[in-house]
Structure 1
């Protein structure tokens, strides 16, 4: 029986804008230069201790100058970038306000809604950038006070945490400005299907589900697992997790394809990889796409997940393309049909975009990419640990960190490669 669980977290994401233009690219290139004073950083965790003296010793062991350098670098990034970004976003804000003043909101309610939504989004970004400025100033001031107070551990921890917030926001903001594809700003539905080969692919599928859930939590994304079909012997056969947050599709679209685990299970080296197929479908949050599909082109079937029939699963096949989708998370057959139909429309729009055709009727069935034939990433657990992204060439040796949801290097590499 399909089991479902839900987990929700919220975040305000910066919307994409081409207005930043060359100013951002110039500052970004300076930031990513290998000079240690303005590069992106990965921070080591600080272990808790039982006394101020022990904490101070721990900071000294980490290297006070190194810790201060990391805080100062985050402050420098903020001071270099924030004023320009704030100027651009405030200009966008003023433009949206002018559009509201110059138009009659009652004449075109749909257009008015779009303008008001954009205005609210820009306002959030402006507020976040102002808050970023305060955090950078806070980190700088606290560091100076810590020097005066003979290396106070508590003050340095406060400055360090503020600098982490600064770096995290700058990374998210920079990435959001690279999302320029049509559906990049939409939410995302991640569909996970275990391959054949016994229990191991199903266990691997469950690990990938956990990886994406942890990634979402780290990003502050609002996400929930809407469908989950467990295996009797452990693991899962399939699952769907929805991220109802802006830019989720833009970030995760590069995850589509086969994820293979190569290594050992219970001490036995596997000769063949455990394969899991991941599909990413846009989850439209604010934009409505008027895509009409003839009923004669659809085959709709229903079946119960279990004998009690409490979960009426709906499967829809699009005859011209052969695309199949399903939904079983809703409480009624009608709701599942609507959900499945929306997923079908989203998949068809993505395929039409990939093939460069203007309408769904122009999609060539033979040219549709088969995800099970598209290798995306390899995870090696034995005899050594390595995660290799096939499309971008990025390799990371910390397998445990990746499975803990730290997939940002792969996401960033994919976006930069497009």
Structure 2
């Protein structure tokens, strides 16, 4: 933990920080704990609450980030020594793995150093609360930095728990209405919006977004590619059937339910999926000959099914038939790899259709609308009452719950 800073040094460094921000200080004269004649004003500004949260975040950064930095530095040195002692061309695959690990360690070291520096600045600003000057804008900035620091540490710690073979990859989120009813399509649209909101909150690097709508104008199928690392491992627990329960509009007292299926498949960022499939095992629709002219071929939705397993994939977001065919094939192979891993089948091409159907029909979450709104995650057992917040993208409690559940197991 950093050594205590003298008031004079704190004041000098904070003054330099204020000059960089170009903000004017707000004069005040009240103690840091909120006692005294100006305690009411202090609390009205929210500075006392902010100060406590800043201090909590700083303590966490000093304890957690410091030890993490030491570990990442050790990993960086180890990977550099391995590369120096090895001819990269002797084993290109192993060398690529080591280079990737070295890059991760260097990036983590840079982020953690920056985090510690920002935490120190926030700490200095917080110390000004006990002096003769309090800058509301500076406090707000320090508070926002503390929130960012906590979120970064949450992500860092969770990523360290992701040990699966594909967890580091990006992710493709696919939402499909379970029936052709308008209610099911509207529910699929709502779910897709939930994941889009979550991705925006995370600042994820977005890729292709595609939607297939029904004749009623609502979503039957929607896919979104997120190219950021560790997205597959982060979102893997979201796959499955998501059921919505709502009250009947005819006031009969009965509840109705509609469902949508969510698939999470890895988006391989560095290399294509290494899986060979026999042409005789595939059904492609429409076939190239089925597109009568060029205008129909451009942008046509392509669906490919692996007939032995029943697993299928489709693509509609590319500009040409053949580009959509390649995308659909890549998604199909990724799906088969994940299904084989889940079913513990050594050869993805030997996955059985019945086992796949049982796996795909497994419920993940139940969303209940009505007087007693709730969201019940069946994987973790977590139940939340703030349904609107979840549908606006606040699914972090479920994601974290799965992390720690897997760790405990």
TM range (shorter): 0.7 to 0.9
CA shift for structure 1 position 98: 1.3
* Max Rg structure: 2
Q: Is the 8 A contact 1:59 1:153 kept in 2?
A: no
Q: Is the 8 A contact 1:199 1:234 kept in 2?
A: no
CA shift for structure 1 position 103: 2.0
* Alignment CA distance shift 1:225-1:401 (3 Å): farther
CA shift for structure 1 position 264: 5.1
Q: Aligned equivalents of 1:305 and 1:63: distance in 2?
A: 64
Matching of residue 297 in structure 1 with residue 285 in structure 2: no
Q: Is the 8 A contact 1:385 1:397 kept in 2?
A: yes
Give a deviation string over 1:311-334, Cα, whole Å, max 9, x none.
222221112111111112222222
User: Which stretch shifts more, 395-404 or 257-266?
Assistant: 257-266
User: Which stretch shifts more, 405-414 or 152-161?
Assistant: 152-161
Aligned residue among 26, 41, 53 for 1:70:
53
Matching of residue 191 in structure 1 with residue 179 in structure 2: no
1:220 corresponds in structure 2 to 203
Q: Is the 8 A contact 2:169 2:231 kept in 1?
A: yes
CA shift for structure 1 position 174: 0.8
Aligned residue among 371, 374, 384 for 1:396:
384
* Alignment CA distance shift 1:344-1:96 (3 Å): same
Q: How many residues align?
A: 367
2:323 corresponds in structure 1 to 335
* Alignment CA distance shift 1:231-1:261 (3 Å): same
1:208 corresponds in structure 2 to 191
Q: Is the 8 A contact 1:301 1:316 kept in 2?
A: yes
1:408 corresponds in structure 2 to 396
Matching of residue 345 in structure 1 with residue 333 in structure 2: yes
Q: Is the 8 A contact 1:187 1:284 kept in 2?
A: yes
Structure 2 unaligned runs (5+)? Answer: 1-24, 28-38
User: Which stretch shifts more, 290-299 or 403-412?
Assistant: 290-299
Q: Aligned equivalents of 1:182 and 1:59: distance in 2?
A: 51
Matching of residue 382 in structure 1 with residue 366 in structure 2: no
Q: Is the 8 A contact 1:204 1:235 kept in 2?
A: no
With structure 2 as the length reference, what TM-score do the two structures score? 0.82
Q: Aligned equivalents of 2:268 and 2:357: distance in 1?
A: 22
* Alignment CA distance shift 1:298-1:107 (3 Å): same
2:261 corresponds in structure 1 to 277
Give a deviation string over 1:7-47, Cα, whole Å, max 9, x none.
xxxxxxxxxxxxxxxxxxxxxxxxxxxxxxxxxxxxxxxxx
SS in 2 for 1:242: strand
Superposition map of 1:4-403 within 5 A? 60-61=43-44, 64-196=47-179, 198-263=181-246, 271-302=255-286, 309=296, 310-370=298-358, 373-403=361-391
With structure 1 as the length reference, what TM-score do the two structures score? 0.80
Give a deviation string over 1:379-405, Cα, whole Å, max 9, x none.
122122211111211011111211111
Q: Is the 8 A contact 2:364 2:378 kept in 1?
A: yes
SS in 2 for 1:339: helix
Which structure's relative contact order is higher, taking Cα pairs within 8 Å and 6+ residues apart? Answer: 1
Q: Aligned equivalents of 1:374 and 1:236: distance in 2?
A: 22
SS in 2 for 1:87: helix
CA shift for structure 1 position 287: 4.8
Give a deviation string over 1:147-192, Cα, whole Å, max 9, x none.
3245432222122111111101110001101111111111111111
Q: Is the 8 A contact 1:184 1:249 kept in 2?
A: yes
Q: Aligned equivalents of 1:132 and 1:100: distance in 2?
A: 28
Q: Aligned equivalents of 2:152 and 2:245: distance in 1?
A: 35
SS in 2 for 1:311: coil
SS in 2 for 1:273: strand
Q: Aligned equivalents of 1:413 and 1:106: distance in 2?
A: 42
CA shift for structure 1 position 271: 2.6
Q: Is the 8 A contact 2:248 2:256 kept in 1?
A: no
Q: Aligned equivalents of 1:262 and 1:191: distance in 2?
A: 21
CA shift for structure 1 position 64: 4.5
* Alignment CA distance shift 1:209-1:321 (3 Å): same
CA shift for structure 1 position 300: 1.9
Q: Aligned equivalents of 1:383 and 1:232: distance in 2?
A: 33
CA shift for structure 1 position 99: 2.1
Q: Is the 8 A contact 2:277 2:349 kept in 1?
A: no
SS in 2 for 1:185: coil
